[in-house]
A and B are shown apart, each in its own frame.
Chain A
């Protein structure tokens, strides 16, 4: 029996329909209805008029932004050093960065908690710092890998050409390497920023007094308020979409600049 491309796609289409599209519809339904099943916008307006929920969104965003910035600052030089190949055992170093991903994350966070406790004495005095460290620890590989991939695929002759034309190292990096690695940075950022806004499990395990968007959804569900919780999930989804739109623009831009550079 021979399968056409279409038939091979059926399993995934079914999966998509059952586990992505259907839940999304349910999410929409809950977000825009009240307990009696009537259409309402109260969940939406309620979220944006309550200083507590908006405050939590703000706090989560600042936390996620800091985490992303720290991740980027750590990941970019690392990926750069890895690709420029000054290290002899490159694959070993890459392995060291990827290995944590193979270890169960709850185990890693528990270990991190003990280490931080040893250094700080009492975790409870530094909730924001600890949250950033925990998130960074958890998400760093997601930032390194895409950046490493784009940098590794980059054509080295471009740098040589730049240098031939008289650019020094700094110029070559700023004008060639950095713009060309932008897609890697963007996908790294999108893989860190949004999970960092909601991944409260890390914080729960580390130090459970930092309250972020994920915890808020949890609180709504614990109070059987499916509607409020769904609306928050939907708002986060909206933020992701917004982010991706900007992202797409930038990507077009990069291709253009890349082309222009050539």
Chain B
């Protein structure tokens, strides 16, 4: 029997071998490069747009017919004459991605948030970008030609162990955090502070994110509200740096205060949500919802379809500016130049202004691409938000900080309906005064993370010491009663049968 199975197995393998070996030998020359990309869920254009969704800019139409990944494969073949096969997979949270990588999943190109990029860099898992990638004279280097000077500056001025971010990471999307709120119930004033979390007028009607970093940032913002909004602090010459230090304060005292604060506001909140906040906001179950700006745009868009208008506000204390960026992983690339070239080409392809527009339109987040000499991204902004000729209440909205690095650049001023300042535009391209009070949340080292995570578990868990005494007594009595009944029942039965 065993012999027969072995023979069968041998036969099957040899059939497979004979079929494959000649084929692969023949195809050695144009064997496609396999590029394993791992990105956030729903974070890239999947194509298949309806015909009426075409973005008809003056300089040409932008339309998502095929998935972005498919377009990249075709473009790569046309440009480099080589085949590339993208194996595209997704992750749900930065932590999930990190866990996947530590389990042993291998990817060539991943797109985590800034703090996870910092962690990966600190763990020496990241393959630096090549020098060619930064050469603006190469025609297909869309990233370096098109990245916003504002984003570029941040990437060049932040480092981990002396290596600046820009050497290892290329930005993809960015945004800020704040509250989506229902303006009929909550005033702009009330929504523009992290203290909305403790506002008893909206008891059980506000949601917060169910992850330690976002909750921590909000709590620190609320706790230090007085300091952060004082003129004295805001007028400090080193305001930006001081703000970042305050918002990233993980001293034991602050961690304890945050714990106490979150435990207090827990009863005032509707829920700690992972993904349900958007739907709860649209269906009106909550009146305000702590949200990332890209999801805020999505929420407002969805609500608008039901003629329900929501607003977005960035807290006056500080808002958390975040980035998602592409990094190549050493383990995946494994010093294969063909692979690295394909990975960098992928970054450049999604950074081409028309592709950046497609992604932005599809997912609602804001691309780091401003376009450089290519004016299409700004054109898209005008196309999306520009006021119609008959709009009465219009405002001039400068976005020069993003497009040219000069906040007052007259070439980059939008004329928009005033209401858009508190709606999608204000979330997708925050005004420069919001940007001024934006703070990055850095990655915490292992010891700090442990302290914060323990704090978080304490906030979320049910402390057994909070169980009132009468519950213990009642429980004990119930158990005694049950044991007594069972014993009596057994005794009665014994008696019956004997």
Contacts and interface: CB of A to CB of B under 8 A. Distances in A.
A58 B464 contact: yes
Contacts of A7: 1, 5
Interface in A18-66: 51-56, 58-59
Interface in A148-189: none
B95 A208 contact: no
Interface stretch (A80-88, A137-145, A190-198, A220-228): A220-228
Interface in A202-259: 204-205, 207-209, 211, 215-216, 219-225, 257
A42 B306 CA distance: 54
Contacts of B493: 257
A125 interface: yes
Interface residues of A, number: 34
Contacts of A209: 266, 269-272
Q: Which of B98, B457, B462 has the most CB of A within 10 A?
A: B462
A122 interface: yes
Interface in A89-144: 114, 117, 122-125
Interface stretch (B44-52, B152-160, B203-211, B366-374): B203-211
Contacts of A8: none
A204 B95 contact: no
B457 A59 contact: no
Contacts of A223: 95, 212, 449-450, 453, 456
A53 B456 CA distance: 12
A55 B464 contact: yes
B95 A52 contact: no
Interface residues of B, number: 39
B457 A52 contact: yes
Given A54-B464, A211-B461, A224-B98, A122 B204 contact: yes
B66 interface: no
A211 B462 contact: yes
A211 B497 contact: no
B458 interface: yes
B93 A222 contact: yes
A1 interface: yes
A219 B272 contact: no
B276 interface: yes
A169 to B, nearest CB: 20
B463 interface: yes
Interface of A: 1, 4, 7, 51-56, 58-59, 114, 117, 122-125, 204-205, 207-209, 211, 215-216, 219-225, 257, 260
Interface of B: 1, 4-5, 93, 95, 98-99, 102, 204-205, 210-212, 266, 269-274, 276, 283, 285, 449-450, 453, 456-458, 460-467, 493, 497
